Structure 1
Amino acid sequence: MTSYQFTNTWFDTLAKGVWDRLITHYAPARILEIGSYEGASARYLIDALAPRQPIELHCIDTWEGGVEHQPGGDAPADMSAVEARFHHNVRLAAGKYPDRVRVTVHKGYSDECLARLLADGKKGYFDFVYVDGSHQAADVLADAVLGFRLLKVGGIIAFDDYLWSEQLPSGKDPLRCPKPAIDAFVNLNFRKLEVLSAPLYQLYVRKLSD
């Protein structure tokens, strides 16, 4: 029997416990994922939601990897193999629920893909946006701003790796970790959102208004 192919347990270790409650409660039907890697979160969303309702899942990734995936980084990886595992895992998950899962893969840089979704009339379209792409602060801020515009009022945006940082010889670089960008986004939009109570390795925000 064909099985899922994952080389790490990041999602299960750091997110699944919260998502088991969050996803069950909000039951999003239109989902946008920025950063897909091997498809662990996409697989989870399909298996958790498709038995209950039809879902539409959009996955954005370059499959070039971040600085941490390059040789010498914290988590070096063969990104061609990572991309192949993503397609295998998502195809396997979606195949269990014929006609209930629509997956659209956007291969490219997130700012360009998100801008195209906005141009295609998807403003306020998604119930759930997962930001797990580049860990560079400027990229995270762009993903947050554009993802929030694509999120409907009442929807949830989840930021992965809120406390992640590179292990650099010079110490932490605020431009090379997500937290400063996420904090800036939340502070600038504090009247439009509420931060949900959850363990802080991921940060969860509900949109209150445009």
Structure 2
Amino acid sequence: MPIPAESTPITEAFQFTNDWFGVVKGVWEELVPQIQPQRMLEIGSYEGASACYLIDKLSHQFPIELHCLDTWEGGLEHQQDGGISMTQVEARFHHNTALSIRRSAHPVNLVVHKGPSDLGMARLLAQGASGHFDFIYIDGSHQAPDVLADAVLAFRLLRKGGVIAFDDYLWAEELAGGKDPLRCPKPAIDAFVNCYFRKLQILRAPLYQLYVQKTSD
């Protein structure tokens, strides 16, 4: 079930331990003002960098609705790294988004869904959210079957004219036996785009992320 964003004691400083989002921030600086999304969904929130960006960028213009869906258990690549505490990652997400909301000029309806992305999106569809979102950011599991499921469900939740952003399009996990095509997003994203090519338009952007606009249901 969706849970409201936590009321967390906050300081005046964000708590980010990496700059992964900084790689694509320049693209979003051009893309987001063109879309002007008011209803957004992100799959995979981690410490909240992308969520805070959307809140900071848009809430000074109008009220926004932002759904964040994450297990906060980490993917396979995180589970193999014993140095990452996902409990602390989740706490930083709540701290950072609370700080952005505190600074917002208009109301921010932040809804946090803790759990697997396929179940969370299926619940949203069951609750009548088909075609509800203007912008969906997919940055959850990097396993190809999971990415494909996220893409298909996201398409159902996206309104006509809305945009899906796929993160880590060219990312691949370095394994002892070489790269595994089922443990990277690209094959799943390509399969989705190929199956839905008559209902999508690919937007020009650097290939680290892939952006598609829904042109029909």
Same fold? TM cut 0.5? yes
SS of aligned partner of 1:3: coil
For 2:57 and 2:81, locate their aligned partners in 1 and report how far apart those are by CA, in whole Å.
36
For structure 2, the residue ranges without an aligned partner over 5 or more in a row are 1-10
For residue 142 of structure 1, report the CA deviation from its aligned partner: 0.3
1:144 corresponds in structure 2 to 151
For these two proteins, the number of residue pairs brought into alignment is 207
Match of 2:40 among 31, 47, 62: 31
Deviation >3 Å, runs of 4+:
none
Query: Could you tell me the TM-score, scaled by structure 1's length?
Result: 0.96
Match of 2:122 among 112, 115, 139: 115
For residue 98 of structure 1, report the CA deviation from its aligned partner: 5.8
Match of 1:95 among 89, 92, 102: 102
For 1:183 and 1:94, locate their aligned partners in 2 and report how far apart those are by CA, in whole Å.
35
Instruction: Confirm or deny that 1:57 pairs with 2:66.
Output: yes
For structure 1, the residue ranges without an aligned partner over 5 or more in a row are none
Query: Could you tell me the TM-score, scaled by structure 2's length?
Result: 0.93
Note the aligned Cα RMSD (angstroms): 1.1
**Superposition pairs for residues 1-210 of structure 1, below 5 Å?**
2-12=12-22, 14-72=23-81, 76-97=83-104, 99-210=106-217
State the identity as a percent: 66
Partner AA of 1:3 in structure 2? A
CA contact (8 A) 2:143 2:185 kept: yes
For 1:149 and 1:71, locate their aligned partners in 2 and report how far apart those are by CA, in whole Å.
33
SS of aligned partner of 1:169: coil
For 2:185 and 2:104, locate their aligned partners in 1 and report how far apart those are by CA, in whole Å.
35
Q: Residues 184-205 of structure 1, C-alpha deviation per residue, up to 9 Å, x if partnerless?
A: 0000000000100000000000
